[in-house]
Amino acid sequence: MTKPADVPTPKDPTRADQLSVAVIGAGAMGAGIAQVAAEAGHPVTLVDSQPGAADTALERLVATYDTLVAKGRRTREEADATLARISTLTTADMRTLPPVGLVIEAVVEQIDIKRAIFRQLEEAQSPTTVLATNTSSLSIDAITGEATTGHDAALHGGRSPALTHPGRVLGLHFFNPPALMKLVEVIAGSDSDPAILDDACTLMQSWGKTPVRCTSTPGFIVNRVARPFYGEAQRMVAEGLADAATIDLALRNAGFRMGPMELTDLIGQDVNYAVGESVWRQTGQDPRYAPTDYQHDLVRSGRLGRKSGQGVFRYDESGTALDAHPDEVLATRLVGGPLRTDPVARTVAMLVNEGVDLVARGEATAADVDTAMRLGTNYPKGPFEWLAEIGADTIRAQLAELDAAYPGGRYRPSPALDTDDGSTEADLTHVTTMWEQDQASAALGIEALEVGVDGASGLGFARTRMRVVESMVNGHDILHGGYLFIFADSTFALACNASGRLTVAAAADISFLTAGHLGDVLIAEARERVTYGRSGITDVTVMREDGEIVAEFRGRSRSLPPR
């Protein structure tokens, strides 16, 4: 994969002996990420600006490993080796960090602080260093781009400068606690280099994590799609349709690990509210994401959940709720009854709508959305699994009923629900025009067998056929590699233009696995793997008609402006 000259990566970024890691922020998330990296064998520097914070975090990790050893989950040697890989550093100036291959920032969710950190890192770290943020809701582009508002801009005469090399910046959003949660959202800014994103996914897999990809959409996947899980319950309680404990029980009975009320008490009402408000503001105050007065009142009154002793429920010192007494009969009766009073149907319809809408915008794939919601929130199913089970017609009708009962835009259905498979109809006019004018493909006799857009993911696919004729082979009747490349590239172009983005190739790699011979009939199958707004990745497999693979091709596309 072609990469910018100023953004190289290690030969094998998954090898611990080739990659040192710095984690900025020694809170629970930062310390947990440092633990995960050290467990994977990397030398880790845990950094914090507050005196003693990093050392205290390391002491807590020592206590954690003592417990793991006592329970037989680690040997003493394994624990000591992991802890020995972690060093601490106290500094507010990130230009004093030692040279590393990867930096993961995990400080407070304040854009000015993050921008200042990344500017210092860019100034001091090698161009080979990959810079990642663990932000849960802030835009990658806002971190890397120019700003004219905020404290940081004021310090720079009213204009905070953009990063010079934003291609090496991405999001790596871990979930709490990082040592236990498998999910990591790998987030692409508009300028993030796709090859670095690929490397990041491979690295996360080597750390025992399950990476999912998304663009830098507000809230990314989990915090965007999950907003209705909290909001529907809060609105039902505020309206007096059922009490909080009963709604929680109804959703637990439906397979959710925790109810929304007890979960927000566990997360912290202030934390959950702040994420929701961030998504709402970043979406132009879209009514779908408007924070509830119910939760705002909890935060304003200091009822933050378990950590304050009271949130939706009251808690004793052990964290046990003292007043969560559900009505079991009512919890059963609500489900399957009128939609307005059915917490399960209301919640699932909204979760499906969010997932479908996110994929239709090209911000993630359906498979990654389902994986993210199962692993990141412990939902019993992903939105697209529910969509396949319930059907787009039913979901659309439910949303229409809720929209009529509560007008204002919160329940408007995604346009992607207009077809039964949850996707909009693909307009292939420009693809047909492009193919008719493709003289190189015509000269090789390439036939387009199938072109379209996957209903679940919104990503393009294509299938073509080519016969190897005498003009394509050398003296040994073996197909010239250049013709094979053109065959794969033509199929790639069909797939990545099918989704309507009007794209051209920016870079490509091909691996020749077996030789093509005179008389072979070859089939190429291309499928867009993911899109990142202005670019995307498409995989192509070239095979004989009997299924034997001849070559594997991966292309990166970039969008052209409309003509």
Task: Look up residue 480 and give its DSSP letter.
Answer: P
In 3D, which of 5, 393, 441 has the Cα closest to residue 195?
5
- SS3 category, 215: strand
Catalytic residues: 136, 173, 185, 223
Q: Which residue type does 305 have? A: G
Query: Pairing between strand 21-24 and 44-48?
Result: parallel
Helices (H), 444-552: 481-498
- Altogether, the residues listed in the chain come to a count of 563
77, with CB counted inside 10 A (0-12, 13-18, 19+), is exposed
Encode 354-380: b = buried (16+ Cβ within 10 Å), e = exposed: bbbbbbbebbbbbebbbbbbbbbbebe
- Residue with structure tokens 């005469």? 157
Cα-Cα-Cα-Cα dihedral sign, residues 475, 476, 478, 481: negative
**Strand partners of residue 522:** 466, 544
Task: Look up residue 181 and give its DSSP letter.
Answer: -
Q: Which residue type does 358 have? A: L
Helices (H), 324-448: 328-334, 343-360, 366-377, 383-390, 392-405, 429-436, 439-443
Extract the tokens encoding 318.
């052990």
In 3D, which of 64, 32, 80, 328 has the Cα closest to residue 182?
32
Distance CA 545, CA 551 (A): 13
- SS3 category, 200: helix
Helices (H), 71-221: 76-84, 111-124, 140-144, 151-155, 194-206
Question: By 3-state DSSP, what share of the chain in percent is helix, strand and coil, each rounded to 5?
Answer: 45, 20, 35
- Which DSSP string do the residues of 372-404 spell out, in sequence order? HHHHHH--SS-HHHHHHHH-HHHHHHHHHHHHH
Extract the tokens encoding 285.
């105050």
In 3D, which of 174, 192, 216, 204 has the Cα closest to residue 130?
192
> CB of 265 within 8 A of CB of 273?
no
Q: Which residue type does 302 have? A: G
In 3D, which of 181, 100, 126, 123 has the Cα closest to residue 7?
126
- Which DSSP string do the residues of 39-64 spell out, in sequence order? HTT--EEEEESSTTHHHHHHHHHHHH
